Amino acid sequence: MRVVDPTFGPKLRELRLARGLSLSKLSALAYVSKAQLSQWENGGRRPTRGSAMILDRALETGGELAGLITETPDDTDAAGRIARALSGSSLIGSSDVEALRDTLATSRRLDDSLPASALLPTVDGLLSTIQAVARDARGTVARDVHLVAVQAGQFAGWLHANVRNDRRAEQLLSTAARDALSLDHPDLACQTLSFRGALDWFRGNANGMARWNLAAYEVPNASALHRADAAFNAVHAIGVLGNDQEATRLLGKADDITTALDGTDAYSPVAYWLTPGWLRLSVGLAHLGLGNHRQAADSLRAGLDGWQGADWATDYQDALTKAEAGQASA
């Protein structure tokens, strides 16, 4: 899988012009056609990392362009299975579903090291592929295919929320939550509703954040991990709204859930990041909403350990800054 940062084209043009090179001159230096260079600069085609390294050498950039491209090893077998799945619904089997699931999982983990803007073109394309397979899926694997489609829609919605394509994010997350409930997958529904609450967090809409996270918390049969995460996020929003009594009551319920998880190896099959350790971030937000700055700072600091390079972690880092400022002024 290849992910090219959308700034690659403009950066290539900037570096070329800064060195006073025309397309023709760079073409001669890099042994790349002028038409190819033009397509890369205009975003018409995506370069490989190897091509970017050649350009870096020609432009003497020290690897700046190659750093804008992430490639994971090709899974030719998975690609072949996806192609077969697209060729006709009668050929779709459990191995095809697994190929789709694995490809999606790879792109999801890239979210921890790449900005959402870089991932979106690839993920939107992957979503279209999975939805095409799901539309025609029949038989025993149909539900599994549709669940992968829901997860892809949820992830795409999350990425669109991060780049503030709010309308598209709302559409994708609302559809994913509805479909997860109809497919009777409470954890997937709970996580998707929580992502919808995150969109309102990005907007600065505490009412929306509280409403969606409370809806997530109340999804019947959702696992303890998902319910606790949603509850802590709701506490944050309710505290920001000034309803300390209700926020404290819900915080107690969420604490009871996490206490029961102590010492367990709890994890979520639909949210690889969601562990008891991850909940420290949500706990930190909850205490920040209630103005408990010391507890908020301690929890956020512990929760951020190991996630500092993730683009999405910026919002939690900002929350930590606020908590530390509040603690210092207390």
User: What is the set of domains in the chain, with CATH numbers?
Assistant: 2-71 (1.10.260.40), 74-179 (no CATH), 185-330 (1.25.40)
Judged by average pLDDT, the poorest of 39-53, 140-154, 316-330 is 39-53
Q: What pairing do the DSSP bridges indicate for beta strands 69-71 and 2-4? A: antiparallel
Helix runs in 163-278, H state only: 166-182, 186-203, 206-217, 224-240, 244-261
Q: What is the pLDDT of residues 8-52, one digit of tens each?
A: 899 999 999 999 999 988 888 887 788 888 989 988 888 887 788
Mean pLDDT, residues 202-216 taken together: 96
Q: How confident is the model at residue 309 (pLDDT cuts 50, 70, 90)?
A: confident
Q: What is the pLDDT of residues 259-294, one digit of tens each?
A: 888 766 678 888 988 988 899 999 999 999 999 999
More confident residue, 87 or 318: 318
DSSP code for 46 = P
Q: Residue 78's pLDDT is what?
A: 55
Q: Which two tokens stand for residue 184?
A: 């009777």
Task: Report the chain's mean pLDDT, rounded to a whole number.
Answer: 88
Q: Which of 14-28, 33-47, 238-252, 309-323 has the highest mean pLDDT?
A: 238-252
Q: Which two tokens stand for residue 91?
A: 């050929």
Q: How confident is the model at residue 185 (pLDDT cuts 50, 70, 90)?
A: very high
Q: pTM for the complete prediction? A: 0.78
Q: Residue 263's pLDDT is what?
A: 63
More confident residue, 160 or 8: 160
Q: Residue 82's pLDDT is what?
A: 58
Q: How confident is the model at residue 203 (pLDDT cuts 50, 70, 90)?
A: very high
For the range 170-177, what are the long-range contacts, defined as Cβ-Cβ under 8 Å and sequence gap of 24 or more?
170/196, 170/199, 173/199, 176/150, 176/151
Rounded Cα distance between 169 and 79, Å, is 28
More confident residue, 310 or 228: 228
Q: Residue 264's pLDDT is what?
A: 67
Answer whether residue 3 shows pLDDT above 70: yes
Q: What amino acid is encoded at 115 in this protein?
A: P
Q: Which of 291, 215, 212, 303 is nearest to 248 (CA)?
A: 291
Answer whether residue 233 shows pLDDT above 50: yes
Q: How confident is the model at residue 76 (pLDDT cuts 50, 70, 90)?
A: very low
Answer whether residue 221 shows pLDDT above 90: yes
Give the E-state strand segments of 16-75 in sequence order.
69-71
Answer whether residue 146 shows pLDDT above 70: yes
Q: What is the pLDDT of residues 113-132, one digit of tens each?
A: 888 988 898 899 889 988 98
Answer whether residue 89 shows pLDDT above 50: no
